[in-house]
Amino acid sequence: MKRRLMVLALVAVLVAAATACFLLKPDEDGPKGQDEQRDSEPGRVEDRVSQQLVEVFPQKIGYEWFYSGFAEYGHRMRLDNISGSTESSEVLVYEISGEVDDPSGGEAPGDFSLEMEYVITKDTVTEKIIRGEKLIHVFSELELLKLPLQAGTKWQQKVEINGKEQELTAEILSAEAEEEEGPVIYRVRYTVPMEGMPDGIYVEERAFAEGTGLIHYARTLGEEYDFMFEYFIFQPEND
């Protein structure tokens, strides 16, 4: 019981630290706002971004993700819109809103709402967190996937940690169907130097399933812990 309380307290501290230390920058059949985009730009937005990357994520407006994990952590998200970017004709933006679970039943202070985007280009998917005070994610902007979608693909990204620029390295560990007739699963590891982490390296791992997107998330907690914080996608039972 004492260990469980300590872990819950740790998660709360991690959420607060992520907010302070890392710079946080109705069901429909199709995306909103793309008719205007198609009139003003030659060709469809979908034709100027990677279709292979698009197919990693759901296509239906109103799609919902439910996640549950360690120490009573959980959050849910909803795909509100898919649209072209006003800044570039070669970008597709998945607009997402949601909420982080409040295990206190409303007694905890702070904003549990969630707003983020998946930005897809001709070769990259980037997660951008617009609002996520209680979200356990560390980086406000992270390049999740990059072509080619195959084991061994690596890339680097500059990130800011405690006011200092660091180079994050990402690698696709595997890209295969893990069950017979199942979707292709892309497993990715992200690493970056960080004080207070085992061997001075922060490690994050994510798994993406074709047609669903993110299905598993894991990250190091600190050098004194011999396990990773994790959450998984789940399908809530219908009442």
The whole-number pLDDT of residue 145 equals 98
Q: What is the pLDDT of residues 95-147, one digit of tens each?
A: 999 999 998 888 889 999 999 999 999 999 999 999 999 999 999 999 999 99
Contact 111, 93 (CB under 8 A): no
Which CATH class, in words, describes the domain spanning 2-233?
mainly beta
The pLDDT value recorded for residue 108 is 87
Label residue 40 by pLDDT band (50, 70, 90).
very low
CA distance 167 to 194: 10
- Phi first, then psi, for residue 14 (nearest 5°) are -60, -40
Q: What confidence tens digit (pLDDT) does each residue in 184-230 have?
A: 999 999 999 999 999 999 999 999 999 999 999 999 999 999 899 99
Residue type, 205: E
Checking if the pLDDT of 236 tops 50, the result is: yes
User: At residue 17, what are phi and psi to the nearest 5 degrees?
Assistant: -65, -40
Does position 42 have pLDDT exceeding 80, yes or no? no
Residue scoring higher pLDDT (27 or 12): 12
- Give the pLDDT confidence score for residue 206 in this predicted structure: 98
pLDDT tens digits, one per residue of 147-158? 999 999 999 999
* 32 and 81 Cβ atoms separated by less than 8 Å: yes
Whole-structure pTM over 0.85, yes or no? no
Q: What is the mean pLDDT of the chain?
A: 84
**Domain residue spans in the chain?**
2-233
32-58 mean pLDDT: 66
Q: Which residue has the higher pLDDT, 238 or 38?
A: 238
Q: How confident is the model at residue 47 (pLDDT cuts 50, 70, 90)?
A: low
